[in-house]
Amino acid sequence: METVLDIHKILELLPHRYPFMLVDRVLEVKRGEKVVGLKNVTYNEHFFQGHFPGAPVMPGVLIVEAMAQTGGILGYLSCPERAPGSLIYFSAIDKVRFRRPVVPGDQLILELVLLGNRHGALKMRAQAFVEEQLAAEAEMMAVWGE
């Protein structure tokens, strides 16, 4: 897939910065519907120093955060009436399941589908894949900050 948004465009949308930026590229966007992002997982990630020495595995909470950041991109692109620089906050998560470990060398493909957008709240279905295998899934909500 070709890159739709590179890291420079992502940094214009999201407030996150190193070491907490967990989306490297956006591969597909359908405003108001869907986004597909990519996270390259490398051994140089700071969290692998302690999770786990000798057997590195990406922490599940960071997989969830990568999905949430990708969902934030969908939110910013789907709600152009929101002022640039406004914040969107992760507010709820349900039905989280981890299906396979994510390890250095993996490419995490993050797919989020917008299920609802009402009263400043976004509901999304999130899935993370490695080589077409489901690694994690969740339903998420986010709300716009003041």
Q: Residues with catalytic annotation?
A: 51
Q: How many CB atoms lie within 10 A of CB 39?
A: 26
Length of the chain: 146
* Residues 92-126 as b or e (16 or more Cβ within 10 Å = b): eeeebeeeeebeeebebbbbbbbeebeeeebbbbb
The span from the CA of 37 to the CA of 105, in Å, is 16
Compute φ and ψ for 30, nearest 5 degrees: -125, 100
